[in-house]
Each structure stands twice: as structure tokens, then as C-alpha cells.
Structure 1
Amino acid sequence: MRDIPQVVQDVNVFIDGRGYLGVTKKLKIPTIEFEMLESKSALSSNYNMGVLKATEMEFTISKCDLNQFKAMGLNVWGAQLPFLFKASVHQSGTAKDKALALAVTGDIISWEMSDIESAKEVEITIKLSAHFISLSIDGVPMMLKDSKNMICILGGVDYMAQVRANLGE
């Protein structure tokens, strides 16, 4: 039986647990990418090293807001601020829509405003280096990456537990 694709209906963006930044039209969820070791020989191969590369993400909103500038200032000269993305995902033929929640904490890399043109919607693109990522769909945890505490949970399995134990943490 063929699966019907899922469609995102809307995504709200919040910052620091209190600032509503609006609805995002475009959200690039961080790419999970592993460091690879290339073995050179007559039949070369790449092998996964069990180390995740640094993760980045970006999102675009249609609102220039004071909370964005406060976040940049606090982020650079204070602490990392949490962003929360809450979405509704629809799949035709199912009885209910699913909730998608993405919590990200990290460093702001860039803040970019689109060209200002008459009768054109404002677009702000914020790019983050994500140190903490928590993704859940319909209340089910899918992924947790916490660089500071060396946690990597994918599909309910903590793949860094043995590494933390080996290091005495």
C-alpha cells in the first residue's frame, strides 16, 4: 500500500519561551550528517566515525520584530536562547493532524532582511548553529542532539551513552 505524503499546514516560531516571532514560510530543519573516514585502497570506502558534524539551520519569517534584535544581543553577549517551532502536519485519509515540535538552542550566525520593495512582503532569514535539537512528532520523541551534554538520541536509542560512560561522565 502506498503512503500518502504529509503536508505542513502552518509553523509558528517562538523565541526564549515568550516572544512570538510569527509564522515561518520556510524552515530548514538541521541536517544530521556524520563524519566519515575514507579508507584508500584498490576498492576505497567511506566509513561512519560515529561523530555528528556541527548542525546548522535557518528559517524565514515575514516580520521584523524587537525580539529578534534582543535575541541577537543576548545570544552574542550573554547566553544561547531557545527557539521553538510548532507545526501542524496533515496527512490525507487520517483522522487527526499531528503536532510537530522542534526546539533548538544555539548561536545566531546571521540575520538577513530581504530587499525592501513596495508591495512586497518583508522576509527575515535567521541562520543558527544548533547545539541542542529536540524533534518530536505527535508527542513521540524522534531526535535529541545535545552537544554540551554529549547526548544523541535517535528513535529512542541513546547512541552516546557508552561514550559518556567510557569518559566517566
Structure 2
Amino acid sequence: MQFTPQAFTGGNVFIDGIGALGILKSFEPPKLDYDTIEASASIGKYEKVLPSLKPLTAKITLTDVNAVLLAPLSTLIPKVVYVKKNMTSVGITQKDTQIIATMGGVVKVGELPQYEMIKEVEFSFEMAVYTFSYQVDKVPLIVYDVENSIYMINGIDQFASIRKNIT
């Protein structure tokens, strides 16, 4: 398999199904940070990585302010945010790749724009993510759903052995 460098060439964001083409400035997907515990061995200590993830957070920065974009600040109803990005590989043959990140959760931090003369308006928010799907060319590579105890990477259930021991 040959790997080639890729660059982001475009993106779009949908909040509860309403598209906002052209205003997505940046997107930080959730960091997959596993719980760890410190363990001891005869010659020292090491960290044991557990199969459970720490709470997931995503950050989205937009270049517009309106009622639709401020709606996620309400914590009464969880929001679904869908980010679609395009990447183009750099090399002899160019190939376009689509990445889709779908997140469900509640906004925990909202940053309204700071006033600076002749500077682009930026509104950003951080979400506490309860469900997360990361697809590359419509193939789900990561599926996370804390409410239904699902965590899959490349279609492999990371909790299968744990779930088998519980039932």
C-alpha cells in the first residue's frame, strides 16, 4: 500500500441538519485519550492503558454569528453536528478523499467573537461528545456511543471481550 501526503481543501458544517457552507474555519475532532493507571513491576513502574476512553470533547470554529449557530448553546436538547471535509492527496496522482465526522452531544463552552477592527468574526464552541462517528470515503473507521457502550475501530468492537465476560 502506498501512502501519500494529504491536505484539507474544503469543509462544511451542519448543525441539526442545517448546513452552513463556507463558514467552517477549523474543527478539532475529539481526542481519543484512554484511561491509564500506574502499575508496579519488579524493576519500576509503568502505565497500564485501559480500554475505556476519557470523556470526548470537540471544538468547532465558525466565521459567522446568527441564531442557527448560537442554537447549540442551549443545553436543553442535545445537538447533532456533522462536519464534512475534503482532502486532496499530494503527489503524482491526485485523489480526493471525503471525511465525515458526526457528533452528538451538548455544548459545554461557547466563545463569542472578540471585537477587533477589520478582523474576521470567529464564533467557536466545544461540545461534550456522547456519540461520534468518523468516516473516510463513507467507511466508518471509528464509532463511539457511550450510551449504548459501543466503541469500534475499523469495525472491531473494542469492548467485545469485556461485554462477553459480563453476560
Contact preservation (8 Å) 2:31, 2:56: yes
Unaligned runs of 5+ in 2: none
Counterpart amino acid of residue 79 in structure 2: L
Aligned position for 2:66: 65
Unaligned runs of 5+ in 1: none
Q: CA deviation at 1:164?
A: 3.5
1:84 corresponds to 2:85: no
Q: CA deviation at 1:105?
A: 0.6
Aligned position for 1:39: 39
Give the alignment's TM-score, normalised by structure 1: 0.88
Matches within 5 A, 1:1-169: 3-20=3-20, 22-41=22-41, 42-73=43-74, 76-77=75-76, 79-92=77-90, 93-168=92-167
The CA RMSD measured in Å over matched residues stands at 2.0
Give the alignment's TM-score, normalised by structure 2: 0.89
Q: 1:23 and 1:149 mapped to 2: Cα distance? A: 33
Aligned residues: 165
Counterpart amino acid of residue 111 in structure 1: G
Q: CA deviation at 1:70?
A: 2.4
Q: 1:4 and 1:15 mapped to 2: Cα distance? A: 32
Contact preservation (8 Å) 1:14, 1:22: no
Counterpart amino acid of residue 71 in structure 1: P
